[in-house]
Amino acid sequence: MKPTRNLILVLGDQLDLESPLIKNMDPSMDQIWMAEVEEESVHVWSHKQKIVLFLSAMRHFRDVLLKRGLPLLYTELNEGADSFSLCLRDTLKEYQAEFVTVLRPGSWRVLEVIESVCKEFSVTLKVCEDDHFFTSPKDFKIFAETRKAIRMEYFYRGLRKQYDILMEEGKPIGGLWNFDKENRKAFSKKGPDSPYHGHRHEPDSITKEGIALVEKYFPNHPGSLYSFYWAVTREQALTDLTNFVEYRLPSFGTHQDAMWKDEPWLFHSLLSSSLNLKLLGAKEVVKAAEQAYYVKGIPLSAVEGFIRQILGWREYVRGVYWTYMPEYLEKNALAASAELPEFYWTGETEYECLKQSIGQTLKYGYAHHIQRLMVTGLYALLLGVDPKAIHKWYLGIYIDAVEWVELPNVTGMSQFADGGLMASKPYVATGKYIQRMSNYCESCPKNPEKRLGPDACPFTNLYWDFLIRHEDALKKNQRMQLQLRNLNRLSEEDRLAIKKQARTFKEAGNQKVKTYG
């Protein structure tokens, strides 16, 4: 057996040279360990581009480590690496490690696997906190224990003060904590002025290798490989950050919630995959946005709106994940049990909003927040899809999906399956919301105004059906009272007709269901 002091595990979403584990290692006694394993692409049915992203970014990072002369044990996918546990076992059979060290992984499942293998080999495991984030799960737990309701807003305000971000003499700059009134507008009739993106990173030889591997080993996975332009190195991610701040941040807030046909990117940053793989640090991204306000005079509403997403929502959902797992995975407050419609995997539907949102997801592994929340998420919620089925879809299909960030967004925010832990009420709306925020309805055969009849919009019909089904449970929720008062205006006949038509949408949704993953 070869002796080593510290076996440092670097997982595919921990590609940061500034990681405390790498910075503090002693190359004469310690080894870095990385493995490309098949299980990570098949435990949920992953999008081809997501697999390429991880393979390519890991291989680029491997080359950086080797260039620095750091000792590295790296297992490639084509070396028959099935799972983390098998790979780590093989290493621990060969290397007598005094201890194994890892930064807190991105999912409970992976942490459990590492813990169990270390236990089997009687090796001490040290799990270190990831200082890429502003907060640790411990900070969130303290926040949660001192609050009646764990709303994001108060967590965010605390962090603004603690890190002195957009603050002036202890108060928020501009006198307000948020600028929602100025933000979240729809586009005018002529649509968005096409913003500059510059995020197309043409695949280099390592990415092409990744594409070839995915074509060979995962040919039946969802998604296209023809348009892979995601950042796979820190340099590319930094270029994306600079471009975003320069060209799109000024309009970010105003059109944060707007959607437009055949415009997948709009004014969004497209930084989530780089942030989640740690090619970029959350702190440096927030700093770049804050500086843009001070130095470039970019509107405060845009800068605050963007910082809130990272300092607020991103930190908050991570806290929710680590505080409430593993029970959180099983949450199903609305007892939803329907299957996920087949078209979530193909994009083949006549409903234009879903066709657009799912179509671009299959093409790029990307949809922006409102498409995820108020189109694909809302439809699953209204249909009553089993939260675990929709969670698996999101975890597999999005380029930026790592469980700590995906699960609370899906189970809590979009499906209300945690019964209101995260969101104070279910995010339900009729098709009229989509009509207001996009131009999708203009080319849809359905009519968002209609809840009944051959051209009834499924969102509008299913919205009323949802309220009827959950009326009793929702009565206790103060924030649902207006919607329930409107429901009370419906006659018994109206209700029966809504339920009857809802059945047709549900049956259509459940046709040809295949089991994936």
Tell me the C-alpha to C-alpha distance, in Å, between residue 57 and each of 156, 227, 247.
31, 17, 25
Q: Does 406 bind ligand FAD (CB under 6 A)?
A: yes
**Between 394 and 463, CB nearer to ligand FAD:** 394
CB 441 within 8 A of CB 352: yes
Distance, CA of 203 to CA of 218 (rounded, Å): 19
Query: Applying CB under 6 A, which of residues 353, 374, 405, 498 lies at the interface with ligand SF4?
Result: 353
Query: Applying CB under 6 A, which of residues 351, 364, 394, 463 lies at the interface with ligand SF4?
Result: 351
Q: Does 398 bind ligand FAD (CB under 6 A)?
A: yes
Q: Does 311 bind ligand FAD (CB under 6 A)?
A: no
Query: Applying CB under 6 A, which of residues 58, 437, 444, 502 lies at the interface with ligand SF4?
Result: 444
Residue among 149, 154, 91, 141 nearest 120 (CA)? 91
Query: Applying CB under 6 A, which of residues 134, 440, 466, 505 lies at the interface with ligand SF4?
Result: 440
Query: Applying CB under 6 A, which of residues 283, 363, 369, 425 lies at the interface with ligand FAD?
Result: 369
**Between 264 and 509, CB nearer to ligand FAD:** 264
Q: Does 302 bind ligand FAD (CB under 6 A)?
A: no
Q: Does 464 bind ligand SF4 (CB under 6 A)?
A: no
The item of ligand FAD, ligand SF4, none sharing an interface with residue 352, based on CB under 5 to 8 Å by kind, is: ligand SF4
Q: Does 413 bind ligand FAD (CB under 6 A)?
A: yes
End-to-end CA distance of the chain: 38
Q: Cα torsion at 225, 61, 312, 43 (round to 10°)?
A: 50
The backbone torsions φ and ψ at residue 33, rounded to the nearest 5 degrees and listed phi first, read -130, 125
Q: Does 275 bind ligand FAD (CB under 6 A)?
A: yes
* Residue 263 CB, nearest approach to ligand FAD (Å): 13
**Between 279 and 457, CB nearer to ligand FAD:** 279
Q: Does 405 bind ligand SF4 (CB under 6 A)?
A: no
Q: Does 309 bind ligand FAD (CB under 6 A)?
A: yes
Tell me the C-alpha to C-alpha distance, in Å, between residue 72 and each of 7, 16, 46, 68.
10, 15, 27, 11
Query: Applying CB under 6 A, which of residues 9, 34, 292, 317 lies at the interface with ligand FAD?
Result: 317
Distance, CA of 12 to CA of 111 (rounded, Å): 13
CB 327 within 8 A of CB 413: no
Q: Which positions from 194 through 223 interact with ligand FAD, judged by CB under 6 A? A: none
* Residue 441 CB, nearest approach to ligand FAD (Å): 21
Residue that is written with structure tokens 């949802």 in the block: 466
Alpha carbons within 13 angstroms on the beta-carbon side of residue 281 total 14
Q: Does 44 bind ligand SF4 (CB under 6 A)?
A: no
Tell me the C-alpha to C-alpha distance, in Å, between residue 336 and each of 14, 340, 417, 459.
35, 11, 8, 17
* Residue 459 CB, nearest approach to ligand SF4 (Å): 5
Tell me the C-alpha to C-alpha distance, in Å, between residue 247 and each of 51, 296, 305.
29, 12, 16
* Size of residue set near ligand SF4 by CB under 6 A: 15
266 three-class SS: coil
The item of ligand FAD, ligand SF4, none sharing an interface with residue 309, based on CB under 5 to 8 Å by kind, is: ligand FAD
* Residue 282 CB, nearest approach to ligand FAD (Å): 8
Distance, CA of 14 to CA of 58 (rounded, Å): 9
**Between 270 and 467, CB nearer to ligand FAD:** 270
With 0-12 / 13-18 / 19 or more C-beta atoms within 10 angstroms meaning exposed / middle / buried, residue 412 is: buried
Selected range binding ligand FAD among 130-138, 180-188, 404-412, 480-488, rule: CB under 6 A: 404-412
Q: Does 462 bind ligand SF4 (CB under 6 A)?
A: no
Query: Applying CB under 6 A, which of residues 106, 396, 431, 509 lies at the interface with ligand SF4?
Result: 431
Selected range binding ligand FAD among 53-61, 75-83, 392-400, 476-484, rule: CB under 6 A: 392-400
Query: Applying CB under 6 A, which of residues 278, 314, 368, 446 lies at the interface with ligand SF4?
Result: 446
Give Cβ neighbours of residue 407 (< 8 Å, ≥ 6 apart): 321, 325, 328, 329, 391, 395
The item of ligand SF4, ligand FAD, none sharing an interface with residue 373, based on CB under 5 to 8 Å by kind, is: ligand FAD
Q: Does 397 bind ligand FAD (CB under 6 A)?
A: no
Q: Cα torsion at 489, 492, 498, 500 (round to 10°)?
A: 180
Residue 268, by phi and psi: left (phi above 0), alpha (psi -120 to 50) or beta? beta
∠ at Cα 272 (11, 49), nearest 5°?
70
Q: Does 272 bind ligand FAD (CB under 6 A)?
A: yes
Give Cβ neighbours of residue 377 (< 8 Å, ≥ 6 apart): 390, 410, 413, 414, 415, 427
Length of the chain as a residue count? 517
**Between 19 and 460, CB nearer to ligand SF4:** 460
The item of ligand SF4, ligand FAD, none sharing an interface with residue 448, based on CB under 5 to 8 Å by kind, is: ligand SF4
Site of interaction with ligand FAD (CB under 6 A): 268-272, 275-276, 306, 309-310, 313-314, 317, 368-369, 372-373, 377, 394, 398, 400-401, 405-406, 409-410, 413-414
Site of interaction with ligand SF4 (CB under 6 A): 351-353, 431, 434-435, 440-441, 444, 446-448, 457-459
